[in-house]
């Protein structure tokens, strides 16, 4: 799984996705809900671990530009949403 995720990251698709939604993924604003919904959708399409591996670094770096506290919130948001993403679904 880790090799597959690393290969997927090298395709540039996760970076392109992040660049596309970076304006709507600011954790300190109300538009940060777009980030949570994106994490939820990606966690259901792939799984929570590949999702965290693909988005974690970029998300934390973006939040670190705001403050260290926001970086911690970003990691907690990513961990929580990706973990509970499948719980409301019947097959979860």
Continuous segment of H or E residues that includes residue 71: helix 68-84
Backbone angles phi, psi at 6, to 5 degrees: -65, -40
User: Has residue 92 got a pLDDT over 60?
Assistant: no
CA distance from start to end of the chain: 20
Per residue in 3-62, pLDDT (tens digit) is 888 888 889 888 888 788 777 767 777 777 888 888 888 888 888 888 888 888 888 888
The whole-number average pLDDT for the span 59-70 is 86
Residues 58/80, Cβ–Cβ less than 8 Å:
no
pLDDT at 91: 56
pLDDT classification of 90: cutoffs 50, 70, 90: low
User: Has residue 88 got a pLDDT over 80?
Assistant: no
Continuous segment of H or E residues that includes residue 21: helix 13-21
Q: How many helices and strands, by DSSP H and E, does the chain display?
A: 5, 0
């Amino acid at each position: 799984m880790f090799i597959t995720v690393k290969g997927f990251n090298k395709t540039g698709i996760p970076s392109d996705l992040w660049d596309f939604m970076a304006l709507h993924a600011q954790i300190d604003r109300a538009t940060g809900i777009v980030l949570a919904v994106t994490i939820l959708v990606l966690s259901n399409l792939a799984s929570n671990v590949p999702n965290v591996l693909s988005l974690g670094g970029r998300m934390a770096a973006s939040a670190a530009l705001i403050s260290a506290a926001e970086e911690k919130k970003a990691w907690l948001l990513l961990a929580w949403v990706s973990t509970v993403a499948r719980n409301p679904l019947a097959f979860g």
